[in-house]
Amino acid sequence: MSRHIQVTFDAHDPAALSSFWGEALGYVIPGPPGVDLPEGADPLAAWDEFLARIGVPEDQRNTRSALEDPDGNGPRVFFQQVPEGKVAKNRVHLDVRVSPGLQGEERMAALEAECARLVALGAARVQRHEPAPPLGSGHIVMTDPEGNEFCLD
C-alpha cells in the first residue's frame, strides 16, 4: 500500500517561502480551520487574523505555513521556522516538471520561460544543463528565495 507524503521545508520566513512555492507549484495556502475564504481573499491575512483571535503572540504567527494541491493529488508542503541558516547543499530537492512531453529546443524554451517567471518571484538561476540524448533531456538548476536548490525539469 502506498503512503501519502508531506514535503517539509525548514525556513526563516515560512509565509514568504510558502508564497513563493505556491506560485511555483500552482498550490494554494489553505484557510484557517472553520474559516471560509471568499474568492480572491489573502489566506495569509486570514491566518494572521485567526491566530490573533485565538491569542497567538504576534512574534509566533510566522512559525509555520502550508500549501495544498488544489486538485488534491500532490503532497502537502509544510514550512517550519528554524533559527539556523542553510549551511550546505540540500540532500533532497524538488524537480518541478514544467515541460512534460516536450523535447529539444521546445522543451528548453518552456524551461527558460518558467525560469524567468520564478526569478521574478525571488528565485535564482544556477545553471542550465543542455539536452544530452539519449538519457539527458535538459534541465535548469535554481534556488528558491532561501537558497534551497531545485530543478526545472
pLDDT (average), residues 103-107: 94
The pLDDT value recorded for residue 133 is: 82
Bridge partners of residue 46, in order along the sequence: none
pLDDT digits (tens, 9 = 90+) for 30-67: 999 999 889 889 999 999 999 999 999 999 999 999 99
| Band of pLDDT at residue 4, cut at 50, 70 and 90 | confident
Mean residue pLDDT across the chain: 93
The pLDDT value recorded for residue 86 is: 79
Asked whether residue 2 carries a pLDDT value surpassing 90, the answer given is no
Asked whether residue 85 carries a pLDDT value surpassing 90, the answer given is no
Copy the grid coordinates of residue 97. 516538471
SS3 132: strand
The pLDDT value recorded for residue 73 is: 94
Residues sharing a CB contact under 8 Å with residue 6, sequence separation 6 or more, in sequence order:
75, 76, 77, 78
* Euclidean distance between the first and the last CA atom of the chain, given in angstroms as a whole number: 28
φ, ψ of residue 73 in degrees (nearest 5) = -100, -40
Q: Count Cα atoms within 13 angstroms, Cβ side, for 80.
A: 6
The pLDDT value recorded for residue 130 is: 95
Q: How does 21-52 read in b/e, with b if 16+ C-beta sit within 10 Å?
A: bbebeebebbeeeeeeeeeeeebbebbbebbe
pLDDT digits (tens, 9 = 90+) for 115-144: 999 999 999 999 999 998 888 899 999 999
pLDDT digits (tens, 9 = 90+) for 66-78: 999 999 999 999 9
The pLDDT value recorded for residue 60 is: 94
